[in-house]
Amino acid sequence: MPSPPLPWEFHLPLSPGDLLRSGGPAQYVVQEVLSLAQVAGQLAEFRGAFRVQGPLAILQHFDTLYSLLHHFRSVNAAVKEDALELMVKVMSRHSSDLSSILDNLDLSPSDRTTHLNALKMNCYVLTHLVEAFEIDSCKSGLAGLDPSGKSKKNRTTGSGFCWEEERQPLIQLLTQLLQLNLRRLWCGLVVEEEFISLVTGSCYRILEKPSISHQKHRAMREAVMHLLAVALTHYDHMLSATLKITQMLQHFEHVAPVFAGAVSLWATEYGMKSMVGELLREIGQKCPQDLARDASGVKGYAAFLSELAEQIPAIVLSNMSVLLHHLDGESYVMRNAILTAMAEMLLQVLSGDQLEEAARGTRDQFLDTLQAHLCDVNGFVRSRVLQLFTRIVQRKALPLARFQAVVSLAVGRLQDRSVTVAKNAIQLLAAFLSNNPFSCKLSCTDLAEPLKKEMQKLQEMRDKCTATTAALITPEEEWEAMQPELRDTIHQLLHPLQGEEEEETVEVEETALNTAEHIIHLLRKLNYKDAVRLTQMAVCHFQGMEPFTSSSGLEDDKETMILGILRTLYTDSHLENNIQHPLHISGDEDPVIEEQPPPELVKQEMLVQYLQDAHSFSMKITEALSMVSRMMYESSVSVVQEAIEFFVTVSQFGVPQALHGVQRMLPLVWSKEPGIRETVLSAYRRLYLSPSGDSERARAESLVRSLSLVMVDASLGTIQCLGEIISEFVQKDEIKPAVVHLLWEQFTEKSQCSSLERRAAVMLLGMMARGKPEIVGSNLDVLVKTGLDEKVIEDYRLAQEVCSAISRLASSNKPSEGKNHAPFRLPQTHLLFGRLSEAVTTGFAQPSTLWIPFMESAVTLIYQLAEGPEEICAQILQCCSQQALERLQEPQGVGAEPGTSPSSVPDGTNTLPTFLLTHLLSLMGNVALQQVVHLERAVSAELRRRRVLGEEQEAKKHVANSTKEQSAKSIENETTMEEDLGLVGASADDTEAELIRNICDTELLDGKQLLSAFIPLVLKICNNPGLYNDPALSAAAALALGKLCMVSTEFCDSHLRLLFTMLEKSTLPGVRSNLMIAAGDLAIRFPNLVEPWTPHLYARLRDPCQGVRQTAGLVMTHLILKDMVKVKGQVSEMAALLIDPEEEIVGLARNFFSELSNKGNAVYNLLPDIISRLSDPDCGVEEESFRTIMRQLFSYITKDKQTESLVEKLCQRFRTARTERQYRDLSHCLTLLPLSERGLRKMQDNFDCFADKLHDLAVYNCFLAALGRLRRSVTKPETKALIEEMEQKLHACHNRGRDSTEVPKEPLCQEEGKTPLLEPRKKRQIAGSCRRPMSIANRDADSSFITPQPRVSRRCRGAAQRHSSQKPAIIFSSDEENSPEDELCAELIEDETPSKTIPRVPGLKNCLLSPLLLCEQRAPVQSLLSERGAYLR
């Protein structure tokens, strides 16, 4: 029975408040909003009514549920949960009832209206409950975060209610409801949009919560997607969904992957592909300028496009055109998204060889776009495109024809200013290598030879084919070839078989010429039948016309007639020329079949093309190697790691040049960054610890062979780094025992190997002994007996490496901190020292250049391991001296050798061979130095150890003798006693150091000691370079002098002038290099003595010899960075090395300033002095070179305050500049500074300083350039106004000089006393200037050096004169430093000897402040000479 009609209709409101206001006579209005106390009771009544009336009970109790929603925040949680549970039951019951009601065809209008109103009310209440619970959940989620930021799990109420678990059934219930045919409730019409928006609105509200994207809510997301899919497919929700999705993408970045998955689901499972087009069109219509301003919104769009293209690339491809205009927009995020979408389509849709022509065109267009954006203005876009190309190459989706172009672009990006771009460029090149289609070995040398060979073969085949084709090209010969078949065809057509009739498919053309053309065309296509038929028809149609004339009409002659006409048409050259061109014009016919090249030729062309591509690819990779090699020392850790990985990949592909990069990465093992160090270790682990081979022995041989190749021609630094890596591997047991066993076999010659391999085996064993000393210690006798036998003189290098390996025992047995173990020493009678003594003394008399390095290693080893090493070395020195004396006592002429020193001196005494004297001086110098090292390291440490041990024993005795009654007092006084012991220990350390110093100063070179006997010999050779002019002897004598100076303060003070005179005037580069290193050591050991001679150290930076300059640069780098030398204006000499012709020296200078820039404001403080000196036209550098230096130095000025201060100083410097060159240099320096607004104001404040220099066009342009750069970077109107004002002043001064009233005149400034001008001082002639050419400095090189008597220290006579006048503030310190200390002549007399200005500090510890020479804290005189091993003899 139909229900009575309702007097009202429920309209879905836009806001809850609309239900309280009447919108019409038949519209439902909430009569009363219940109070909070009434809600629970009325809800119980609704529950009872629901049991009786079912889901229609809502019609009488809607106000109750509306009141619940109105007071939702204040209602008790239990009431909320009951209401939600009740509404779920109501909706479930209503949905079940509607399924049968809607199937009833006799549904009355009143029942339809009743159920429609009930449905609206129930859905309204349920969806608003969902939104209310969702909002409440978000608030409770934020409140549930603990102070650490972690969410508290299991946020459930006491009743066990959890909203996140209740949502999914609700959404599924609404989905079930929408799947019904609800249109019947709307009389079969479209369901009103408000109702669908009501249901779907709760879905969008759920998706707004960021946690919805978590994996645990996957089922919830899928439920929402299916509900929206039903709304889209059944209720025309597409337009609303499109707008809502784009709006949410703009405001909620987390929904991008959610909606991408939803759209993909709708397009694939529900067939809603048009939804993709609508969304992309909506995004494509966004204004590019708005997207550039809305940074947060564009991220959502970009992420959505990228995800969508990855999931359904084919559907996105069909709608891609609406997005392409964003590639020209300002938003780089959107450009990245579209380019990513293109890459996904290339990978998933437009890849493979079976693409259609249209798809190939699209693919090429997308690849062109990607390649173009490799040069995008934004670094993030360039980086993203490189990443996309890396994926394309890894998936092998890049066409081979584009390999070279993309590789070239990637190589160009290696020099990109963006670190991320450079890193991704390296990754792309590594991907190209790993996925190249050419070869597993990409050596240019290996590919060039087969390419040349195959190209020659191809040329021969082409020549042969051309000759063959030329021989068959005449039409007559072609006619003869086709005539037999053509004759048979004519015969068949003229005499057809019985019952056989053929349709004529050809027609006669309008003219005879066109018909003849058609016939020839058919003959060339080998279509003989149609050609004959057309000829028959033409003879009848064009009777009597050329060329279809016939002299006989008989039947028997018809075959001959047709054949003759065809021959005439095909072979007639005149006719051929007339009709040949039109044949190629007709586009509706098939092209003429041309003769195809032979298959062998085609294959050869493909092979040559393949080899050419492979060779070009290899050349590009080789070109990239040098760039990537330089990037291994960038400041970015990620770039360094990628560069290392790249070289590992290149090495695996057999590129020979990769070995240089593998060696270049070795020093990075000392990096302070753990990531870089671990990457280097991992690289060498992959390169060398995973060798190929079937057996353990074969793998060991492969590993040893690979490591030996790295050490071929390797420097000392490379070997040190490799030793660190190998010792690390040994400590972690990553090197198998089979490798160690093989190395011992090679060393003992049990396995066949060369001398180089044997030497490499000893070196590797020594490296491994750093990690496990027992590798050498357990086989010490084998090393001594095999490596130091009587054959030592045949291979000194092997013996030297044996000494180096054995020395690992000394370095590994050092006492640990806090432990008083006796040091590891061997007795003097040990076989090792006997063999070493014998080897040194035996080789002393043999002329070998390798004896000196071996001798140094032997003496060092003796001092490291022997007990009483000075006795052993004294015996060696006495034995060698005895040999020299015996040689000297031989008759004249016996010892003379060609090319040595003169055979006799004027007094007629005998002479020694040069090499013998060289050996003697080298041995003496090394013994002297090692004796000092032994005293200050081993003896001092032993004294300290014994003292500490004695103190510990005394303390133990004191504790043992104490009684129980005194225990309390002893406890109270324990701290005091320890402090007293500590003070005693500190005092004892000073006493021991003073004792060692006194021994060095007074005893080692005392007349009673052995070393003192050699001092006159060393001094005589050093003082007479003209008499003793052998380079090796001079170098040895200079080195011995430097080592003797290291021993004693008095000896050093007495002979420093001789040492620096030789450093300045010696014509031998080896002597100058050795003395430069010695002077660096002395600057650390005796800084007070060497400090006045500092200008001579700087002078070597302009030495004409490249090796001396490099050595001087290295020494000065260490001294300056370790604060052992005062950095004055002479540091400009280091800056001048930035333009040195030798690349190694330039790299050294760059490294120096890079390290100096890390020391606070060091570069900033030195810049004025450097500019002052280098811009001096008399002693500076060329203008272009000056600019090169300044570009490098100003790159270290990064702080705003530094920039502002330099602007002021440079502007003020214009007042004292004397030449136009200095004007230009100063103005150019201003252009190198990143000018800011405050810097501009500084420039305006000092405008008077440079106003009169603006007449110079170069100066004027520099100021305009600086202002132009500032204009491009500022946005404030007031700053732009300042720039315009400054430009106007510059323009006025440039055009009119200083006549303008805006610019005060210079004389007025002087009269008012604002900034007084300084008269340029007359430049004094500096005899010993560091810029003096060596040709002049060495003009008296042949004269003897005169050693002065030891001088007495005196005060500097010119101290008062140097500080008498105070300079104005605008004068740089470099202008004040031309003191007598800086004006040292190359040839010095005693009065010109620099005086010591710093008081001497007693004790050695206070002077040796630099770790340049310190291997550890207690080794203050471990000389750089022996540490580097780089003696230039």
What's the pLDDT score for residue 891?
Answer: 65
**Percentage of residues in the chain having pLDDT higher than 70:** 79
What's the pLDDT score for residue 1073?
Answer: 93
The arithmetic mean of pLDDT across residues 1271-1279, rounded, is 80
Contact in structure between 2 and 111 (CB atoms under 8 Å): yes
Residue 1413 has pLDDT above 90, yes or no: no
- In 3-state terms, the chain is what percent helix, strand and coil (to 5)? 70, 0, 30
Contact in structure between 1135 and 1145 (CB atoms under 8 Å): no
Label residue 1251 by pLDDT band (50, 70, 90).
confident
How many helices and strands in the chain, by DSSP H and E? Answer: 64, 0
For 718, list phi and psi in degrees, rounded to 5.
-60, -40
The arithmetic mean of pLDDT across residues 1259-1278, rounded, is 85
Cα 83–chain centre separation = 63
Of 557-566, 589-598, 619-628, 865-874, highest mean pLDDT = 865-874
Burial string for 894-930 (b: 16+ CB within 10 Å, else e) reads ebeeeebbeeeeeeeebbbbbbbbbbbbbbbbbbbbb
Label residue 445 by pLDDT band (50, 70, 90).
low
- The torsion region of residue 789 among left (phi > 0), alpha (psi -120 to 50) and beta comes to beta
DSSP string, 88-134: HHHHHHHHHHHHHHTT-TT--HHHHHHHHHHHHHHHHHHHHHHHHHH
Pick from 429, 370, 397: nearest CA to 623: 429
Residue 1417 has pLDDT above 70, yes or no: no
Integer CA distances (angstroms), 94 to 11, 554, 838, in order: 19, 103, 111
Torsion angle in degrees (nearest 10) through CA of 1208, 1210, 1215, 1217 = 170
Label residue 152 by pLDDT band (50, 70, 90).
very low
The arithmetic mean of pLDDT across residues 623-651, rounded, is 85
Higher pLDDT, 145 or 83: 83
Label residue 149 by pLDDT band (50, 70, 90).
very low
Residue 1343 has pLDDT above 60, yes or no: no
**pLDDT single digits (tens) 991-1037:** 777 888 888 888 888 777 888 889 999 999 999 988 888 999 999 99
Structural tokens at position 936: 């200050």
Label residue 159 by pLDDT band (50, 70, 90).
low
- The pTM is what? 0.68
**pLDDT single digits (tens) 318-360:** 888 888 988 888 888 999 999 999 999 999 988 887 888 888 8
The arithmetic mean of pLDDT across residues 106-124, rounded, is 82
Which residues lie below 8 Å from residue 444, measured CB to CB, with a gap of 6+?
A: 615, 618, 619, 622
- Among 772-776, 812-816, 1393-1397, the minimum mean pLDDT is found in 1393-1397
Q: How far apart are CA 732 and CA 729, in angstroms?
A: 5
The arithmetic mean of pLDDT across residues 226-234, rounded, is 88
What's the pLDDT score for residue 2?
Answer: 53
Label residue 505 by pLDDT band (50, 70, 90).
low
Residue 673 has pLDDT above 60, yes or no: yes
Q: How far apart are CA 526 and CA 524, in angstroms?
A: 5
Asked, as a colleague might, if the bond just before 547 is cis with ω within 30 of 0, I would say yes
Which residues lie below 8 Å from residue 95, measured CB to CB, with a gap of 6+?
A: 173, 176, 177, 180
Question: Average model confidence (pLDDT) for the chain?
Answer: 77
Pick from 378, 292, 289, 380: nearest CA to 331: 292
Residue 1346 has pLDDT above 70, yes or no: no
Contact in structure between 414 and 430 (CB atoms under 8 Å): no
Label residue 839 by pLDDT band (50, 70, 90).
very high
Q: How far apart are CA 371 and CA 394, in angstroms?
A: 17
